[in-house]
Amino acid sequence: MTLKGFIMKQWIFLVVLGCAVSITAQTPNSAVLVGAVGTMQGGYHLNPNKQSDDQIGFNELELTIQGKVYPDVDATLIVAIHPEDGQFATEVENGFVEFSSLMDGVGASIGRQFVPFGKQNKLHPEQQAMIDRPAVVSQFFGAENLAADGIALNAILPLPFFCRLELGHWKNTLAGTPADLPFSPTGYLSTGRLWSSVELSDSAEAELGFSGLQGFGPEYATQRDDATIIGTDLTFRQFLGSKSRIMVQGELIQLNRNVDGISAARSGGFLLANYRTETGFEIGVRYDHSERADIGDPALDRRLSLNLMQKFSETYFGRVEYIHDLETDSPAIYGQLVFNLGSHTHALQ
Amino acid sequence: MHFNKWRLFAATTIATVALAMPTIASIRIVTSTGDLADIAKTIGQGHVTVTRLTDGRQDLHQIEARPSMVSKIRQADLVVVIGMELDGWMDSILRTAGNPRVMNGKSGYLDASVGIKKLPAKVNPNAPGVGDVHRSGNPHYWLDPLNGIIIADEIRDRLIQIDPDHKSDYDRNYTAFAQAIRTDMARWKASIAEFKDVPVLSFHSSWDYFLKAFDIRNAGTVEVYPGMGSLGVDLPTLKTRINRGDYAVLIYEPAQAQANSALFKHLDSTRIRLAPLIPSVIDSSATATYRGLIDHNIATLKSALTSSR
């Protein structure tokens, strides 16, 4: 690729990088948060037939600019750059304005963002409990987080415990429509999420959520391809000391598709247990069980994963994950280093 | 009989309303730490209900925000935070809660660090970005009791803005608190004045304000990189300096000893005296209040200083 071609292809990245450097230089206080999250990742398959999927190197860089643009109004821009087909692809992963308090307890966000469904889809890679996303999430929402352009309204319900309702309407222009891509909800999407939580004690909390999505499958442009997804999630956290805690999380999701008159229901879920010690070391285990979203392929995706993570500092951690594909009896080992330069925040999930 | 039932109903209703009145009328304060909670309780006593979101046993850098915290913020009339990037996790809770009374910039939001004369945060000159990064300075300012008075003053001013009808009560409570701290301060200082030249080492830089407040010689920190424990610590050099008398007492927090047990095991065999101090209010008998916390820490430090002789 010529230098001109490279610059044209990476213009968003270069513009954001330039803005970030400029803003940082001009605002030494914390009025504008500028940050970068980098992920280095490698994977090694113990099954010789799968070793063509082995990889090591740069996985993703997220550049973040955040700040208050008006009282109670925050703007967030996240540009992601990641390898694709031997080159680097750049995309605006999130770009939205968030109104924290339109009315008492009512907020809204407008722009491109991760679609609120369940506990997993809104998490950025550095927030995830493990290197890979649960199988059911990858099968029903796509290989990457489902991001879409739209508007979401949220309200904290006037109840004696935490209960938040979020309704959204979106257009997913990122997934594309070729039939050979993994399934991902596409086109106009409507979402709803009810998220509740009860404080069991000063150091324990349980969360229960229900989510729904109505939209289309990837073939909707050429034929009928309706998709409806419903899910429920449960999270329990017990805080034990200065840093240590136990977390148990599970999620069940069902996808209903109707492709050209043929209906199919697919379901899946995961169960995750994670323990963090006082030294910032984490050990986690997850069982995944999910049917594939393809209408003609009801095959299963079952995995058992063991994750070890060490947080070296507030801004730097590494983890190793052993994943055993139970369907093909193929084990693989993944490693990941994540660094965080500057600062950024994410909404409470 | 019928008449009596109505009288009973009316009396019950009046009693219920009367009992509920103080609760309805009281200002609901939510603080990120127990220290701020105790000071707020002292200044607003009789007119406030105070909830803290963390306990002194927790590492404020590592708090995982929880939805139940959002519910508490939803009800609040005043939120008080430490600021200086120490309790930055409060931002996402405040945004999620969407309570217009306590959003940053409103009278119901108080960053208690605003009036504080800040000490610089420790950075490793060879790796300034490594470890806990606090661009606004060292955030452990509440451990200087005179800063406790500044915090109380800010809370008093904010309570008067929100509830001017009880201004005289808040003024009186503040004056009493400030006077009590000044009296305690003289006592605390006198109790350890004879040790002012004893070199005291801190595990983390959380005690800079405390040592400065009591004119104790601050001999630095064990940590090479702030917030990263024993990483990079040159143990033989540390031991040599202890044996040479460069450091007589080490002050640390119990969780730091637990997380760096190997290093502390080595220190057991040296001449250094260990003083486990409590960095923030914990609901236990000795350190359940702000003044009790400082009192406990001074007594523990004095005991270590005495045995170092």
A199 and B88 within 8 Å at the Cβ level: the answer is no
User: Which tokens go with B304?
Assistant: 């270590």
The residue among B74, B96, B107, B282 with the most chain A CBs within 10 A of its CB, best to mutate, is: B96
Distance from CA of B96 to the nearest CA of A (A): 7
B133 and A199 within 8 Å at the Cβ level: the answer is no
Nearest to A279 among B57, B68, B259 (CB): B259
| Between A177 and B189, the higher pLDDT residue | B189
Does residue A37 contact residue A315 with C-beta atoms inside 8 Å? Answer: no
User: Which tokens go with A209?
Assistant: 């959520």
Q: Is the model's pLDDT at B21 over the cut of 60?
A: no
Nearest C-alpha neighbor of A284 from the set A317, A314, A247 = A247
**Residue matched to tokens 């007492």:** B249
A242 and B258 within 8 Å at the Cβ level: the answer is yes
| Between A336 and A342, the higher pLDDT residue | A336
In a domain, A53, yes or no: no
A156 and B98 within 8 Å at the Cβ level: the answer is yes
Long-range contacts of B182-189 (CB under 8 A, 24+ apart): B182/B149, B184/B145, B184/B291, B184/B294, B184/B295, B185/B145, B185/B146, B185/B213, B188/B145, B188/B214, B188/B294, B188/B295, B188/B298, B189/B214, B189/B215
Q: Is the model's pLDDT at B19 over the cut of 50?
A: no
pLDDT confidence band for A59 (50 / 70 / 90)? confident
Q: Is the model's pLDDT at A48 over the cut of 90?
A: no
What interface predicted TM-score (ipTM) does this complex get? 0.86
A280 CB neighbours in chain B (<8 A) are 62, 259
Nearest C-alpha neighbor of A276 from the set A308, A311, A244, A235 = A244
| Between A96 and A59, the higher pLDDT residue | A96
Q: Given this structure, which CATH class describes domain B2-112+121-184? A: alpha beta
- Residues B103-148 have pLDDT tens digits of 988 999 999 999 999 999 888 887 777 777 788 899 999 999 999 9
- The pLDDT value given to residue A152: 98
In this prediction the pTM is: 0.87
The alpha-helical segments, DSSP class H, found in chain A are: 3-9, 11-26, 135-141
Number of neighbours of residue B24 by Cβ within 10 angstroms: 7
Nearest to B57 among A72, A242, A315 (CB): A242
Do the first three CATH levels of B2-112+121-184 and B186-307 match, i.e. the same topology?
A: yes
Mean pLDDT of A156-178: 85
Distance from CA of A108 to the nearest CA of B (A): 10
Q: How many domains does chain A have?
A: 1
The amino acid that residue A67 corresponds to is G
Does residue B38 contact residue B281 with C-beta atoms inside 8 Å? Answer: yes
Cα Rg of chain B (Å, integer): 23
Mean pLDDT of A11-36: 63
- CATH code at position A192: 2.40.160.10
B100 CB neighbours in chain A (<8 A) are 72, 101, 103-104
CA separation for the pair A70, A221 (Å, rounded): 40
The residue among A243, A274, A312 with the most chain B CBs within 10 A of its CB, best to mutate, is: A243
Every domain of chain B and the residues it spans: 2-112+121-184, 186-307
Nearest C-alpha neighbor of B70 from the set A316, A344, A234, A205 = A205
- The pLDDT value given to residue B22: 42
Nearest to A243 among B62, B92, B135 (CB): B62
Distance from CA of A254 to the nearest CA of B (A): 26
Q: Which range (A26-30, A100-104, A344-348) has the least confidence? A: A26-30
Nearest to A101 among B92, B100, B225 (CB): B100
In a domain, A291, yes or no: yes
Q: Is the model's pLDDT at B81 over the cut of 60?
A: yes
In a domain, A38, yes or no: no
Q: Is the model's pLDDT at A28 over the cut of 50?
A: no
Question: To 10 degrees, the CA torsion angle through B174, B175, B176, B178?
Answer: 80
The sign one gets for the Cα dihedral A12, A13, A18, A21 is positive
**Residue matched to tokens 């940082």:** A24
Does residue A226 contact residue A217 with C-beta atoms inside 8 Å? Answer: yes
B136 and A104 within 8 Å at the Cβ level: the answer is no
| Between B226 and B12, the higher pLDDT residue | B226
- The pLDDT value given to residue B286: 82
Q: Which range (A156-160, B19-23, B252-256, B272-276) has the least confidence? A: B19-23
A74 and B95 within 8 Å at the Cβ level: the answer is yes
CA separation for the pair A313, B231 (Å, rounded): 10
- The pLDDT value given to residue B5: 61
| Sequence-ordered strand ranges (E) for chain A | 32-45, 55-70, 73-84, 87-103, 106-114, 147-156, 162-172, 186-201, 204-216, 225-239, 245-259, 262-276, 281-291, 300-313, 316-325, 330-342
A68 CB neighbours in chain B (<8 A) are 104
A237 CB neighbours in chain B (<8 A) are 64, 66
Nearest to A314 among B65, B104, B227 (CB): B227
- The pLDDT value given to residue B17: 45
- The pLDDT value given to residue B20: 43
Three-state DSSP state, A242:
coil
In a domain, A286, yes or no: yes
Indicate left, alpha or beta for B220 from its phi (over 0: left) and psi (-120 to 50: alpha): left
Nearest to A205 among B66, B131, B132 (CB): B66
A107 CB neighbours in chain B (<8 A) are 95-96, 98
CATH number of this structure's domain B186-307, picked from the four choices 3.40.50.1980, 3.40.228.10, 3.30.300.30, 3.30.365.10 = 3.40.50.1980
pLDDT confidence band for B273 (50 / 70 / 90)? very high
B103 CB neighbours in chain A (<8 A) are 71-72, 100-101
Nearest to B92 among A30, A343, A347 (CB): A347
- The pLDDT value given to residue A342: 81
Range of the domain at A195: 98-342
- The pLDDT value given to residue B1: 46
**Closest residue of chain A to B69, computed from CA coordinates:** A162
- What is the percent of chain B where pLDDT is above 90? 73
Does residue A213 contact residue A117 with C-beta atoms inside 8 Å? Answer: yes
In a domain, A78, yes or no: no
- What is the percent of chain A where pLDDT is above 70? 89
Q: Which range (A302-311, B58-67, B188-197, B299-308) has the least confidence? A: B58-67
- Count how many pairs of residues, chain A against chain B, have C-beta atoms within 8 Å: 128
Three-state DSSP state, B62:
helix
In a domain, A250, yes or no: yes
- The pLDDT value given to residue A71: 85
CA separation for the pair B91, B104 (Å, rounded): 9
Q: Which range (A127-131, A232-236, B31-35, B124-128) has the least confidence? A: B124-128
Question: To 10 degrees, the CA torsion angle through B239, B240, B241, B247?
Answer: 40
Q: Is the model's pLDDT at A12 over the cut of 90?
A: no
Mean pLDDT of B168-178: 98
